[in-house]
Structure 1
Amino acid sequence: MNKQDKISIIVPCFNEEESIPLFFSAVKKVTDEMDAKFEFWFVDDGSEDNSLSEMKELYKKDPKEVHYLSFSRNFGKEAALYAGLQAASGDYVAVMDVDLQDPPDFLPRMYKILKTENYDAVGCRRIDRTGESKFRSFLSDRFYDAINKVSKTEIVSGARDYRMMTRQMVNAVLSMKEYSRFSKGIFSWVGFKTKYLEYHNIERVAGESDWNTWKLFKYAMNGIADFSQVPLSLAVWIGLVSFILAMIGILFVIIRRIVDPSSSVFGWASLVSIILLVGGLQLLCIGIIGRYIGKIYMQVKERPIYIVKEKK
C-alpha cells in the first residue's frame, strides 16, 4: 500500500478526560502497524473537566500527529464532528468515539477495503446492545423503524458514527451547510457506496456516557424532524397529552354508558373530552408545523455551526 496515504481520525470529546489518554494509546498501537500516515483531530466540545488539558498533553508529546480544536462553549457532537471534518487534511478520514466503544482494530480492515474494493466508505454497525437497558434498546429499534418509514434516506439499524471515508465523500458531506445536522442521515443522503462491518456492543473504557435516554430521544426527534426547538417541542407534548386525556375521557363515557344504560352521555364529561380532543389535535399539528418553521428560522439566521477558541 502507498505510504503517502494520509488518514485523519476525528475524535469528538465532551467531558472525557479519563478516556482520552486510554483512547490514544489503544489506537496508536494499531496505527503504528499500518502502512499510512496519520493525524488525530481531537475536538473539545466545551468540556467542563480537564479534557482540553489531556489533549494539550498529547499534543506536546506528539505535535506531528496530534491536533486539537476547542470550542468556546458546548455546541454538540454534530458540530464537533463537522469541525473535525473541516480540519482534517487526510486522503481518508475516520470518525471515532473516544470511549473505545468503536474497536480500533477495525481501522486496518477499513483502510484495506477502501484501497482494494470499490467502496467510498466503510461504516460499522452493532448487531446487539449487550449492556444497555431493554427499554433503551427498544426505543432505539423503534427509532430506526420510524425514520426509515418516514424518510427516503435509509438509515442502517445499529449504525455508528464510526466510519472511514474517502476524501471525495468527505467533501460531499462538508458541502452540506445546514445548521441543524444529523450526521447519520447526511452520510446516507450524500450517497456513495458504503460497506458495513458488524460487531458486538463494547462497554465504555472509562467515565460515563453523557447520552442518557432523554438526550437520545431528543437526538432521534432531531433526526426525524431535523429540528429541536424547546418551546415548539413543548407545544407538541401538550397537544399529545391533551389528545390522550381526551381519548381516555371518551372511553370512560362510552364504558359508563354500557355498564349503566341509565347514565347520560351528555354533560360536562363528554363536552370536556371533545374539547380536549379537538384542541389537542390542533396544538399537536401546529407544533409539528412549528418545528419545520423553526428549522427555517435557525437556518436563515446563518449563525456559525461552532466557534473555535483554541486550535493546534
Structure 2
Amino acid sequence: MISHVDYLSEKDTVPMLICFVVPCYNEEESLPLFYDEACRVANVLRQQSHAEAEFIFVDDGSGDKTLEKLRALHAKDERVHYISFSRNFGKEAGLYAGLKAAKGDYVATLDADLQDPPSLIPEMLQFLLENKDYDCVATRRKTRKGEPPIRSFFAKMFYRIINKMSGTEIVDGARDFRFMTRKFVDAVLSLSEYNRFSKGIFSWVGFKTHWISYENIERAAGKTKWNFWSLFKYSIEGIAGFSTVPLALSSFLGVFCCLIAFIGIIVVVVRALLFGDPVAGWPSMISIMLLIGGLQLFCIGIVGEYLSKTYTEVKHRPLYLTKETDGEDRRFTPSANV
C-alpha cells in the first residue's frame, strides 16, 4: 500500500489534511452516528496514509437540534468545525459553503445520513495517490433498491433527457459523494453562479474522474428531505443550467405551428372556393385555438425559466448568509456571488 509519506520530499513535513464537507438539514438523529463512523475512518486514514482529518458541517437552517449537536461536537473535538446559515438556503449552497471553507489537500463531500459510506474514503484516497492523472473519485448507485418505483422511473428519465440535451455528461445514479484534489475543488469554486447544480458543475469542470459503484444504502436515521416536487424542481434546475435545447425546442414548436396554420389557411381557402363556406366546424376550431394557445404558453414558460435564472444571477445576491460559526474566521468568510 502506498502512503502519503512516499510522496513527500525531504522538505515536506506537514501532514496531509483531508476535509470532510457535510451539509446538514434536520440531522440531529444522524449526526452522532455519522461522527462515530467519520472518526473511525479518520483513524484509518492516519494509520494508512499518515493523514489528518477535519470535519466541516454546514447547518442549512435546520429547525431541530442539529446546531446544538454541532456545538457539542466542536466543544469536545477540535477537528469539528461548523457553519450555520441564517435560514434554509438549500443543499447546493451548503456544498458551496463547505467547499469554500475547506483548506485541505483533499476534500470529501458526503451526506450526514450515512447513505454515503465514509468507509470508502480510504480507498478513494489510495486511488488518487496511486493515479496522479486523476483528480476526483466519484460514486454512483448500482441500483435504486428501496426507492419508490415511480420516483426511480422519473429519475432514470431525467438522466436520459439531460444527457441528450446537454453537452455535459451527467452520470445516471451519481451521488454528491466525491473525493477531490485541491485542484478540482478550486475549479469548482471558480464557478460562483447563484443557480447551482453540482452534478453538472462537477462534470463541466472536467479533470479525470474515477467512478465507484455501490448498492443503495438506507438512511441511518431520520427522514429524507427530498420529495417528488423538490426533485422535480431540482431536475428543472439541472436542465436549465446545462442546456439551451429547451429554447431551441420552443422555437421549433413555434415554426411548426406557423407551418400548420399556413397549411390550414390554404385548405380553408381552397375548400371555400370549391364547396362554399359552411359555418359548421367551430368546435374543432376552438380545440385548435386552445392547442396553439397552450403551446404558446408552454414556450413562454421555457423562456421565462431562463429569464428568471438571468434575473437572479444579475442581482448578485450571496449564495448564503452565515448566522454562526465555530469562530475560525479564516474559514468562514461570507459568500458573495461575484
Do the two structures share a fold, i.e. TM-score over 0.5?
yes
Aligned to 1:8: 19
Equivalent runs, 1:1-312 vs 2, <5 Å: 1-2=3-4, 4-35=15-46, 36-63=51-78, 65-117=79-131, 118-226=133-241, 266-312=280-326
> What code does the residue aligned with 1:109 have?
E
CA separation in 2, counterparts of 1:269 and 1:114?
67
Task: Give the structure-1-normalised TM-score.
Answer: 0.86
CA separation in 1, counterparts of 2:280 and 2:320?
57
How far 1:109 moved relative to its partner? Answer: 0.2
How far 1:168 moved relative to its partner? Answer: 0.4
Q: Secondary structure at the match of 1:47?
A: coil
Q: Secondary structure at the match of 2:41?
A: helix
> What code does the residue aligned with 1:302 have?
H
How many percent of aligned residue pairs carry the same amino acid?
Answer: 57
* Structure 1 stretches lacking a partner, 5+ long: 228-235, 237-263
Q: Secondary structure at the match of 2:114?
A: coil
CA separation in 1, counterparts of 2:241 and 2:201?
11
* Structure 2 stretches lacking a partner, 5+ long: 6-14, 243-249, 251-277, 327-338
Q: Secondary structure at the match of 1:205?
A: coil
CA separation in 1, counterparts of 2:293 and 2:279?
20
Q: Secondary structure at the match of 2:44?
A: coil
- Decide which structure has the larger Cα Rg and report it: 2
CA separation in 2, counterparts of 1:180 and 1:308?
19
- Alpha-carbon displacement from aligned partner over 1:155-186 (angstroms, at most 9, x marks no partner): 11111000100000100000001100000000
CA separation in 2, counterparts of 1:285 and 1:94?
40
How far 1:267 moved relative to its partner? Answer: 3.7
CA separation in 2, counterparts of 1:127 and 1:76?
26
How far 1:226 moved relative to its partner? Answer: 2.7
Q: Secondary structure at the match of 1:165?
A: strand
How far 1:147 moved relative to its partner? Answer: 0.5
Q: Secondary structure at the match of 2:97?
A: helix
**Equivalences, count:** 277
Q: Secondary structure at the match of 2:67?
A: helix
CA separation in 2, counterparts of 1:268 and 1:136?
42
CA separation in 1, counterparts of 2:285 and 2:179?
59
CA separation in 2, counterparts of 1:105 and 1:297?
42
Task: Give the structure-2-normalised TM-score.
Answer: 0.80
How far 1:198 moved relative to its partner? Answer: 0.5
How far 1:266 moved relative to its partner? Answer: 4.0
